[in-house]
Amino acid sequence: MPSPSLIAVRDDSPMNTSSPGPRSGGPTPRRSFTPAQKLEHLAAYEAAIQNNTGGAYLREQGIHSSQITEWRKLLAGKKPGEKIGRLTPEQAEIARLRRQLGKAEQRLATTEVALTIMGKAHELLEQLSKSSRDDKPHTDS
């Protein structure tokens, strides 16, 4: 027979739902914001950051920092009322080409540095070769 301290207790009574908070009646639904509201929150958050109160602003408004990050990406250069959403095929192609150009420019810069190093190594080897020829005693036969 198990000891009294090891007996499982099952409590099927409902939880007290009178306490305030997001867990009282289940998770709160995620709020949605219009593009204008997002821009307003971004502007207010940027101002709050200047006063070192960015975190307080987010808590006060019930906004997560990840939302701010997402909105910055979505709304970069957008004005209130402008359409926000997926890129058009042309915009996607432009973005792809910009990424491709960036990679090509990076490879070019790396190649230029490598060529500079190779040129300097070649010069050094020529100097060493010349000095080793100059250092050899000439023997007349």
Of 44-48, 84-88, 120-124, 125-129, the poorest mean pLDDT is in: 84-88
DSSP of the chain:
---GGG------SPP---S-STTSSSPPPPP---HHHHHHHHHHHHHHHHTT-HHHHHHHHT--HHHHHHHHHHHTT--TT---SSPPHHHHHHHHHHHHHHHHHHHHHHHHHHHHHHHHHHHHHHHHHHHHHHHSPP---
> Model confidence at 37, in pLDDT bands (50, 70, 90)?
confident
What mean pLDDT, rounded, does the chain reach?
78
pLDDT at 46 over 90: no
57-105 pLDDT, tens digit each: 999 999 998 888 888 777 766 655 555 566 678 888 888 899 999 999 9
